[in-house]
Chains A and B, each alone.
Chain A
Amino acid sequence: MSIKRDFYKRLSLMMVVSVLVVSVLVVKKERDILIEDMQNRGESIARLLSTVVMESVLTYDYVTLERYVHQIVQDRSINSLKIVRTDGEVLAEAAKDAKKGEPFVVSYPVEMGGETLGNIHVSFSTERVNAVLQRIIISAIVFILVIHGIALVINNLFFKKLVIQPVRMLIEVTKEFKKGNLKNRVNTPKNTNNEFNQLALAFNDMAIALEGSFEDLREKQKEINTEKTKIETIVRSLADGLFVTNGDGLIVSFNGAAEFISGYGRDEVVGKDCEEIFRSRFCDDACALHNEGRIIRNKETEIITKDGRRLIVSVSSALLRDSDSRIVGGVQTFRDVTAEKQRQEMLCHAEKLAAVGQMSAGIAHEINNPLGNILGFADLLLKDAGITDDQRKKLKIIAEQADKAGEIVKGLLGFSGQREAKLEMASINSIIENVAKLLSTQAENNGIKVAVQLEDVPYIKADRRQIEQVIFNILLNAIQSIEASGRGGDVWVFSRKSDSDVEIEIRDNGPGIPENIKHRIFDPFFTTKPVGKGTGLGLSVCLGIVKEHNGAIEFTSDSEKGTAFMVRLSNLRNHD
């Protein structure tokens, strides 16, 4: 509306000013023309009259003169006419009722033979001039009004059609756009090509582009949302704790596992510094922001839980960057490895003990025989009468001491647990299940699936604990091999019946055993694992136990398929 009013205001002003200027000019010019016209007429009247005056003066015919004068004064524009002799005598005079407006007087001399007889004064009424000018002014005003009226009507139509309607339409469509209706378009008449139409076309182009972009945007948004949901689901279902910090190191996101591990609720930590929460060297050790430029992967450090427990965690972290590679925060995942750690330590210890025990057992076995011989021969000599009492006394000491050594060896065997196999009817399947259960946590933590497929196998005579140790060792090796590969994998444990034997197979799809070490893996203290992880005693102990049970142990391995260990135990053949 305001553009329209503004437009009309300017238009009116322009018109009024221009018409006024033109009117003033015309009026001025017209006035000049009229005045000049009067001057001319006055002069021509006077010139004509001067002849009459001359003649009248010569013939004393003032009657004719007066008649002329009166007749001339009949003219509308002439106010009065006066003929004055040089001596001031008014020879003829005629005047109409004084009219309004300054009279305009033209004087003209009457001359004869170079002598002035008198003067003719013609007084014109400027009333007519004023009337004419008034008419011009009135005409101008009427003209302004009429043209203005017409222009107003025409302009209104044109303006409405050409400006207001397109603008309104643009506004309408823009409003619709604001509401999100990108389908709307501005109507563009075919036959015009003014700026508004061009604007409308441009607008429509923009709308199409915008709609396209918006569609893309929507698609992208959808994708992003899907991704977001995916990520959220992943993060939520992640077994590992995960939290995200912003650029200032303040926690912005904290998943369920993180809550579970730390004991803190999400609401308690969001917006807080992670150092404040974990109260440990966690951040210095593993947070992405604190370790810029360093790769943190499965780094072990510790946290203090809400209830004050100290936990060992394995942390991986990475910096978060925006599309311009500016650091906007860090993401940390952590896993509680406290139990695993403890178990590992325990396993290590157990293995060591077992090895020591085995060695001691071996030694004890070796010593037992000579000790038995010593004791036997000592007893034999004691039964011999031919020995002196002193000898008998000394022999008794030998026998006593050998007995004592036997007891020591027995004790040694007992300490190492490597006592003589306590054979009983044992279920291999239940042993496998127990062991698999024991290691399942570790396997799962490393993304390793342990599949147990058991056939109905007969009970066999065996030392339960020793068989347990064998399966434990082989299964642990399998898990560790996959763990070390870092690629994940599967482990299968089978029990099978073959003839009268029971066969246990433990197979993995890990990296396999390199060809050059295959012949050494059963050696005591041979290991490829880092200190603290492997002792190199596992397989040697296994071999010992299986042999003791009159069984056999075999393996196949290649880098493609992985490794499979087969333990065969006989049901019939008894130990000793």
Chain B
Amino acid sequence: MSHIKFIVSIGLFVMLSSQLQMFSPLKPGQLTFGIYPYDSPSKIHKDFGPLIKRLSEEAGIPFKIVIVPNYMSFIKSIGEGRIDIGFMGPSPYVKVKDKYGGVELAARLLFRDNKNDMMVIISYTGSKIKALGDLRGKTFAFGDFQSYGSHFYPRYLLNKAGVKLKDLRAYDYLSSHSRVVLAVSHRDFDAGGVRMDIYEKYKNRPIQVIAGPFTIPPHVIVCRQGLSEDIKKKIKETLLKMTDRDILDSIDPDLMKFTSVKDKDFIDARRVLNYIEDR
């Protein structure tokens, strides 16, 4: 009897400790690298593994990848210091910066043709929608609420075209760009906004662009402000000097390099966010 209890308590302990470990940056001498869930966790691990390994080597500190369940929890985690370094889109950055303040930009990602810095509004092939104004009374798919390219900016564009949320017959937040593309392609929705690189990825699907492309702010890698200056400096330098194609290709073959970025590059984004969240 007693050893069954023992096994059960061991099992419970293992479960709890792993649970704790997942969110705990407290392990001494270990940094957490947070990534928003743009794809399956295994894919994310694979994509970012080489880069994080390099950063860890350069910084002389072991890194741990933490994939956050959604944009909002990412914002919260990095804002509350549970994540030391993060890879994120423009809107989470603006949110963290404005709400928590404790972040510092390390570098931005620069893609070929700037495709990561653009977005389009799509509809399915054969749709009668030719312009944004046609979307009145139609359905629209958004990504994550906190996504700039798939929510804030498309909504901003709709607003500019005179289509407010209440003018749409239906809309929904599908939590990612890819889901938006596919839902539209399956005609679950009449239209949706997605980043250019995602659109490119699904270009052969029955979808068509009805507006765009529009420029959007870049994806960035940020550091928690509380990190030691030395580590922050090393990370920044490593990224900016990164020429290793293997590491870059692993993230995206179209990723050309990391370049420096300033908070003022997000002025437009901050305006759009405020505009949307005011309504």
Using CB atoms and an 8 Å cutoff, list the residues of chain A in contact with chain B. Answer: 59-63, 66-67, 85, 89, 91
Contact = CB atoms under 8 A, between A and B. Distances in A.
Contacts of B174: 59-61
Given A66-B182, A67-B40, A60 B172 contact: yes
B187 A60 contact: no
Point out which of B176, B178, B189 has the most chain A C-beta atoms below 10 A from its C-beta: B178
Interface string B178-200: 11001101111100000000000
Interface in B106-144: 141
A288 to B, nearest CB: 127
A62 B187 CA distance: 12
26 contacts: A59-B174, A59-B179, A60-B141, A60-B172, A60-B179, A60-B182, A60-B183, A60-B188, A60-B189, A61-B174, A61-B175, A61-B179, A62-B179, A62-B182, A62-B183, A62-B185, A62-B186, A63-B176, A63-B178, A63-B179, A63-B182, A66-B182, A85-B186, A89-B186, A89-B187, A91-B186
In this complex, the interface size class of chain B, counting residues with CB under 8 Å from chain A, is 10 to 19
A89 B182 CA distance: 12
Nearest to B187: A89
Contacts of B183: 60, 62
Contacts of A63: 176, 178-179, 182
B189 to A, nearest CB: 8
Contacts of A85: 186
Contacts of A66: 182
A89 B183 CA distance: 11
Point out which of A63, A67, A85 has the most chain B C-beta atoms below 10 A from its C-beta: A63
A67 B183 CA distance: 15
Contacts of A67: 40
Contacts of A62: 179, 182-183, 185-186
Contacts of A61: 174-175, 179
Interface in B163-180: 172, 174-176, 178-179
A91 B187 CA distance: 10
B72 to A, nearest CB: 17
Point out which of B172, B174, B176, B179 has the most chain A C-beta atoms below 10 A from its C-beta: B179
A19 to B, nearest CB: 49
Nearest to B172: A60
Given A63-B178, A67-B40, A89-B186, 15 more contacts: A59-B174, A59-B179, A60-B141, A60-B172, A60-B174, A60-B182, A60-B183, A60-B188, A61-B179, A62-B183, A62-B185, A62-B186, A63-B179, A63-B182, A91-B186
Contacts of B186: 62, 85, 89, 91
A542 B179 CA distance: 178
Nearest to B177: A63
Nearest to A66: B182
Contacts of A91: 186
A60 B185 CA distance: 11
A204 B83 CA distance: 105
B185 to A, nearest CB: 8
Nearest to B189: A60
A59 B178 CA distance: 13
B251 to A, nearest CB: 19
B180 to A, nearest CB: 8
Nearest to B180: A60
A14 B179 CA distance: 65
Ranked nearest first, the 8 interchain pairs of A and B with the lowest CB-CB distance are: A62-B182, A60-B183, A63-B178, A60-B174, A63-B179, A60-B188, A61-B179, A89-B186
Contacts of A60: 141, 172, 174, 179, 182-183, 188-189
Point out which of B40, B183, B187 has the most chain A C-beta atoms below 10 A from its C-beta: B183
A345 to B, nearest CB: 154
A67 B39 CA distance: 10
A60 B178 CA distance: 10
B188 to A, nearest CB: 5
Nearest to A60: B183
Contacts of B185: 62
